[in-house]
Structure 1
Amino acid sequence: MKKYIYLAASALALFAFTSCNDELTQLPLSQGTIENFYATPGDFVQARNATYSVAFHGAGTYGYANRVLNLSETRSDNLYATTTASREWEGINSFYTNISSNSYIKEAYTSNYNAINKANQLLEKIAEKGDQIFTNPADKTAMAAEARFLRAFCYFDLIRWFGRVPLIERTMTAPEAAKIPRTPVTEVYDFIISDLEQAIPDLPPSYDAANYGRVSKYGAKALLGLVYMTRSSPTYGIDGATLGLNEWDKAYQQLNDIKTSGVYVFGADYDAIFKVEGNANKENVLTIPYTQSLPLSVGGNFMVELGYEPYFASFNLSAQGSLEAKEISTEFLNMFAATDKRKAFGIATSYTVASGTYKGSYTLPVFKKYIDPARYGNGREDWGVDFMVIRYTDVLMMMAECTLHGGGGSQADVDAIVNQVRTRAGVTANAANITLDELFAERRKEFFSEGNRWFDLIRSGKAVEIMNAWKAVEDTDGKIRTIDNNALIYPIPLSEILAVPGLYDQNIGYD
């Protein structure tokens, strides 16, 4: 299980980049080094694994999971994450306008473009040398499909955070990259959809245990469905990812293909979704694997982002660096019924530390959905807990969202999906004539601390209205800024603005 991530660590060293200016001016390896490396099928496998590693695990301290917890969950109405200690995440939560140098924002830009560069290089070498290297043509086409998926994944991530971004379709020198302006979102979407449509036919429906974590045909379909949903959602009059294109039927078709495939199963036990790993977990449609305490393993630390040091100490774990809690909003806590298993499993409301620095009893609620001490390794960056990017329940509930927009299915289908979710959660299955607002409320309880909430708010078309109404009730300290539509995308990192003066304009509303 999780075999490919073992190789990724060594592959990263082989594919390090030197930099000039910043991320978009990354120089590739010298031509001679590239030619010498891509000489065997194993070399191509390492290059593919390195692309996965940067796309999913990031180019530094953070990976995709950390990113969505910081930039989506912390931005949303699920958390009242203010602080007096000037933490990086406070500017995210409070909608500061001077966050263009924020490390979380810069990481989202850096890691995605590093992975795109690796995918571009891999695709070029497959086209150039693949027929000579691969004895089985199917191996070549499958590897190209994975590279296209990863490139599309990264570009979709970029436009959801930043709106217009430069479209880099091939490896470039620094001077070449310095001439590429920000590309209209519509053109980036065309590129994403083209990559996914080319990738899907050449991806397998599933993998064996040794290759768990690689993208399947249905993982790519789930992403394509979400792409169509996002660009179909109401536009806010900004250069963001929602375009109001009304392609809900296209999204529904991709998601329904996953449902009818029979590969995935709606898990009967909510807790098990987050405890069972590998192919045994039929909820996993698109997953980022982590393994702790093994040679060349890639451990994770994303659960630390929403944790709290006393909670970790209650299990006698070593310091995790979560010195201040990102407080769960009272309004969100009050949404749950007393019998809701999702709250019981995913939120710690009381915990005790027997001894040491944090000795005492605590009642500050914190998210704990992904915190499993049994999968803790040798330190805060060595958790062996997998992160689900898209799970089967999400696929079903996204189908329901498409249905409510007229994309396919019936109201009875929507009600049945919501009742299925509620039954598993141990609450009354009384869904009838569910509306979009009610569906998003159910999604909020189902997917909290999984990094979905901010994207759900955006797709609802009511993100500004909801966040400002939430602030009026929750923000008694007056620390969160009242927002307008411009706050729905993040600023382009300042380092990019300064790298080539005049090439990029900053997103409106940011310093």
Structure 2
Amino acid sequence: MKKYIYLLAANLLLLGTASCTEELTQVPLSQGTEENFYATPGDFNQARNAVYSVAFHGTGTYGYANRVLNLSETRSDNLLALTTASRDWEGINSFYTSISSNTYVKEAYLSNYNAIYKANQLLEKIALKGNDIFTNPVDKASMVAEARFLRAFCYFDLIRWFGKVPLIDRTMTAQETSKIGRSPVVDIYKLIIADLEAAIPDLSPSYDAANFGRVTKYGAKGLLGLVYMTRSSPTYGIDGAMLGLNEWDKAYQQLNDIKTSGLYAFGTDYAAIFKTEGIANKENILTIPYTQSVASSIGGNFMVELGYEPYFASVNLSAQGALEARPISTGFLNMFAANDNRKTFGIATSYTVATGTYKGSYTLPVFKKYIDPTRYGTGGREDWGVDFMVMRYTDVLMMMAECTLHGGGGSQADVDAIVNQVRTRAGVPATAANITLPQLFDERRKEFFSEGTRWFDLIRSGNAVTIMNAWRIAEDTGGKIRTIDNNMLLYPIPLQEILAVPGLYTQNLGYD
């Protein structure tokens, strides 16, 4: 599956809520209508691909990868993203209470609901016409499973950012949705878990290269495991995705199924994990693929989010639009041993531009993990052929270790072995035995930086507010970042949704 975006019909592209008037920017297939479109297996395949496209690649400039780098990585203690200019990411990093109209916040809400709308529509069309269209019942079951996975994926993304959101499990008119308020998170979890449990048996264990990017049985199991882990996290006293349940054993079971499948492997070379594409990369559990192009812009642009124009110029890539850096926090840099190859590969601490506008030497540390000039196309800054790993095998192993430390299965020896395996690959000494949860999260922080996991790790740790306030005091000498409280663990509902039907939604606490 590559980054091709499909149009079913103009009237199918609207979210279907009273507040949404934005149309998706997509490539037309034909002048067909909804009534005559779903007539062949190929039509249904294109409809399925459209759900993938919106769920993973978004509805405009940003996709899921950009989203987690902006709303998770930038929100976390890995970056000190302050600026003298007015940038949307500054309000994210500084915990402003006035970000309900923030571009990144709106995108997370809009893209997920557009994908949910498309998934609901596809499921309804399969139920209505599937028996007549699909000669092989396995193909029909697989398509239903993929649609249900994608719907679950989007709802899980929504509740992690916003907490309570409207629960819409069928296509609705704008008038119908204008009467649906925010549903309790427990109700949304029921749909998420039901969708994933129904999808897993009918998803393929693996795909060939031509179908790389479609979700597998084990990608769905990885998501379900993370769902159980998130439900088990401390609540912080807010209406978020964290329910304080003790479901670590359920999570461990799902993750262990991935391990025992024998389809994945712990990469022995850290750098190779991010340079090996497609099915050849045995770390890939759930991946969003992008295509490098020589003719048009169909690649990705997420690596630009945390980049810096002088660094791009230093590797002969100019005009990427990353004019201001989001510098790496000093405390994070100091965590690494001098010879840790994760830092060497993924962080630029000094670089030189030989000629041009940015000529000079630089020591501003920036992330470069996903920046590979050999996979840059000719379509501009949105044309990188670099895949984004939503979940990789090392993550699965370390999440299993987390479950073990919560009593969910496995042994302390398993935890120690996993962490030492990760550290040995990084070229640093193995850690002493009896790894604790704080030590595990520290190792995760060094392993997964600039992959969009840090904010969620902080929340699962139970110490997000304490850690972030300590970071603020240590790093923000200018006093620009506000004191963080529990309410800041959620984002605000976008203002356009609050205003669409006055009184239907109430804003999350702590926001203007």
**TM range, normalised to the smaller chain?**
over 0.9
2:436 aligned with 1:435:
yes
The range that moved more, 297-306 or 421-430, is 297-306
Aligned to 1:137: 137
Match of 1:312 in 2: 312
The aligned length equals 504
Residue of structure 2 in register with 1:173 after alignment: 173
Provide the residue aligned with 2:47 in structure 1.
47
Matched, 1:188 2:188: yes
Q: List gaps (5 residues or longer) in structure 2.
A: 25-31
SS class of match (2:391): strand
Consecutive unaligned residues of structure 1, counting only runs of 5 or more, are: none
Matches within 5 A, 1:463-478: 463-478=464-479
Partner of 2:13: 16
Correspondence for 1:236: 236
Structure 1 residues 382-393: aligned runs within 5 Å: 382-393=383-394
Identity of aligned residues (%): 80
> How far off is 1:21 after superposition?
4.0
Residues 47-56 or 353-362, more deviating: 353-362
User: Residue 420 and residue 84 in structure 1: after superposition, are their counterparts in 2 closer, same or farther (change >3 A)?
Assistant: same
Kindly state the Cα deviation for residue 328 of structure 1 after the two structures are TM-superposed: 0.3
In the TM superposition, residue 403 of structure 1 has moved relative to its aligned partner by 0.2
Secondary structure, counterpart of 1:130 in structure 2: helix
Deviations 1:420-442 (A, max 9, x none): 00000000012310000000000
1:26 to partner: Cα distance: 8.9
In the alignment, which residue of structure 1 is the partner of 2:28? none
Q: List per-residue Cα deviations over 1:295-345 (Å, max 9, x = no partner).
A: 677310000100000001112213011111001000000000011000000
Is the 8 Å Cα contact of residues 22 and 496 (structure 1) preserved in structure 2? yes
Higher helix share: 1
Q: TM-score, structure 2 length as denominator? A: 0.96
How many Å separate the matches in 1 of 2:9 and 2:80?
A: 37
1:336 aligned onto 2:336: yes
CA distances 1:379-415 after superposition (whole Å, capped 9, x unpaired): 1011110000000000000000000000000000000
Match of 1:408 in 2: 409
1:61 alignment counterpart: 61
Map of 2:27 onto structure 1: none
- Residue 226 (structure 2) pairs with residue 226 (structure 1): yes
The alpha carbon displacement at 1:22 in A equals: 2.3
Q: 2:153 aligned with 1:153, yes or no?
A: yes
Shift of 1:225: 0.1
Change (3 A) 1:305 1:194: same
Q: Distance in 2 between matches of 1:162 and 1:18?
A: 18
The Cα offsets for residues 248-291 of structure 1, whole Å up to 9 and x where unpaired, read as 00000000000000000000000000000010000000000000
How much has 1:194 moved relative to structure 2?
0.3
Structure 1 residues 25 and 498, CA gap change in structure 2 (3 angstroms): farther
1:445 aligns with 446
What is the alpha-carbon distance in structure 2 between the residues aligned to residue 24 and residue 439 of structure 1?
45
Counterpart secondary structure, 2:65: helix
Give yes or no for contact 2:145–2:202 (8 Å, CA) kept in 1.
Answer: yes
2:29 maps to what in 1? Answer: none
TM-score if structure 1 supplies the norm length? 0.96
The residue matched to 2:235 in structure 1 has which SS?
coil
Letter in 2 for 1:217: K
Work out the CA distance in 1 between the residues paired with 2:406 and 2:9: 43
Q: What is the rounded CA distance, in whole Å, between the counterparts of 1:431 and 1:24 in structure 2?
A: 57
1:397–1:443 contact (8 Å) kept in structure 2: yes
Work out the CA distance in 1 between the residues paired with 2:293 and 2:22: 35
Classify the secondary structure of the residue corresponding to 2:5: helix
Contact 1:5–1:49, Cα closer than 8 Å, also in 2: no
> Whole-Å Cα distance in 1 between the matches of residues 94 and 344 of structure 2?
28
Q: CA RMSD in A?
A: 1.7
Write the distance in 1 (CA, Å) between the matches of 2:363 and 2:294. 36
For 1:299 and 1:409, how far apart are their aligned partners in 2? 41
SS of the equivalent of 1:285 reads strand
Shift of 1:18: 7.5
Matches of 2:11 and 2:42, distance apart in 1: 13
Q: Hey, what does 1:213 align to over in structure 2?
A: 213
CA contact (8 A) 1:10 1:296 kept: no
| Secondary structure of 2:33's aligned partner | helix
Structure 2 Cα separation of the partners of residues 7 and 478 of structure 1 = 44
Give the C-alpha shift of residue 472 in structure 1: 1.1
The whole-number CA distance in structure 1 between the counterparts of 2:241 and 2:13 is: 31
Shift of 1:17: 2.7
Q: 1:440 corresponds to which letter in structure 2?
A: F
- SS of 1:388's equivalent? strand
Aligned-partner residue type, residue 251 of structure 2? A
Determine helix, strand or coil for the equivalent of 2:305.
helix
Q: Determine the C-alpha separation between the residues in 2 that align with 1:430 and 1:448.
A: 20
Q: Tell me the amino acid that sits aligned with residue 230 of structure 1.
A: T
Distance 1:486-1:20 versus aligned 2 partners, 3 A rule: closer
Q: Which residue of 1 aligns with 2:251?
A: 251
- Structure 2 counterpart of 1:170, which letter? R
In 1: Cα distance, 2:318 partner to 2:455 partner? 31
CA contact (8 A) 1:160 1:489 kept: yes
Question: Does structure 2 retain, via aligned residues, the 8 Å contact 1:8–1:46?
Answer: no
- Say whether the 8 Å CA contact 1:9–1:297 is kept in structure 2: no
DSSP-derived class of the 2:390 partner: strand
Looking at structure 1, the residues matched to 292 and 432 of structure 2 have their Cα atoms a distance apart, in angstroms, of 41
Q: Using the alignment, how far apart are the partners of 1:55 and 1:249 within structure 2? A: 29
- Paired with 1:6 and 1:69, the residues of 2 have a C-alpha distance of 19
